[in-house]
Structure 1
Amino acid sequence: MSQTVQAIRPDQEVMTRQRLPYFMGISGDSVASSGLSMHLVIIPPGARAEPHIHLGYETGIYVLEGVVKTRWGDMLEHEVLSAAGEFLFIPPGVPHEAINLSDTSPARAVVARNDPSEQDNVVPYAPATPGESAA
């Protein structure tokens, strides 16, 4: 197989398992990458991702616009804010959800993963409540 340098313009919106619109960029499907995917996510005003985990891969996020609260942990009991110009790291298997804190403007971020598939290893997550184990 010959290797080719390719430019990708993410111009088609895809609704993800997290219930957020992605614009797909680099992946195993788009450019036959073997260990990387990279996309643009737009969180509409006031919207939030469905809680989920990433099986077996790390995720790096760079916020381009807006402020996003990421809740994480078995009960989504922890939180971190990410603003434009900041990076966020999510280890494999950590339950989390992202929330756009603005009711009027979308938040935009570049999402990179060390997994070439876009959604195959994204799994919905039901947060545990005190006294029970996570689903």
Structure 2
Amino acid sequence: METTSPRAKVGRVVRGGASYMSQQGSVHAPGISKETVGSEVLYMGMVSVPPGGRTSAHIHEHHDTAHYMLSGDEIEFYTGEELEDRQVVRPGDYIFTPAGVVHVAVNRSPTPAVFVVARNEPTARECVVMRPELDARVP
């Protein structure tokens, strides 16, 4: 993946780069970010939750996050102060998570769940606050 420190002055095509395991347990493949094109306000990339996998309870304190489910069977998406709100997400669905909302994604299927993700924080390795005391609330 190419890196650029100053803000881009022209449109750019960014080839997909190396993925990494995030601290919340999903696999991230950065695309558009401060590191790749000098973005000041936007991050966009791919996220996947492996078969039978889940994320740990966490929040993104200062930024909103949007996901679009590209492929997979379905995931369960839990939100709320005690992770009491359960929604089922399928390919073609969008998820909006406001800043400061605790959430967990669970993939009980045998196939990876793959998403395009965008958020209003430009860095590839986003600011995450882990909430381990809530992990046991999601079966």
Q: For this structure pair, what is the TM-score category when the shorter chain's length is used for normalisation?
A: 0.7 to 0.9
- Equivalent pair of 1:76/1:127 in contact (CA under 8 Å): no
- 2:94 — aligned with what? 87
Going from structure 1 to structure 2, the CA distance change for 1:83 and 1:55 (only over 3 Å counts) comes to same
Q: Is the 8 A contact 1:75 1:127 kept in 2?
A: no
Matched with 2:4 is: none
Do the aligned partners of residues 86 and 18 (structure 1) sit closer, same or farther apart at CA in structure 2, a change above 3 Å counting?
same
Structure-1 residue corresponding to 2:17: 11
2:61 corresponds to which residue?
55
Cα offsets for 1:23-71 (capped at 9, x unmatched): 1111111111011001101111010011110011111100001211111
CA distance in 1, matches of 2:31, 2:8: 20
Instruction: Write the distance in 2 (CA, Å) between the matches of 1:10 and 1:57.
Output: 23
Deviations 1:70-106 (A, max 9, x none): 111121111111110111100100000111130x111
The answer to whether residue 131 in structure 2 is matched with residue 115 in structure 1 is: no
- Across the aligned residues of Structure 1 and Structure 2, the Cα RMSD in angstroms comes to 1.7
Match of residue 44 from structure 1: 50
SS in 2 for 1:118: coil
Aligned residues: 128
Q: Does the aligned pair in 2 maintain the 1:38–1:111 contact within 8 Å?
A: yes
Residues in 1 aligned to 2:126 and 2:105: alpha-carbon distance in whole angstroms: 19
Of Structure 1 and Structure 2, the greater strand share is in 1
1:126 is displaced (CA, Å) by 2.9
- CA–CA distance in 1 between the matches of 2:86 and 2:77? 5
Task: Give the letter for the 1:19 counterpart.
Answer: G
- Length-normalised TM-score, structure 1: 0.87
Could you say which residue in structure 2 is the equivalent of 1:65? 71
Q: 2:69, 2:93 within 8 Å by CA — same for their partners in 1?
A: yes
Query: Could you say which structure has the higher helix fraction?
Result: 2
Percent of paired sites with the same residue:
34
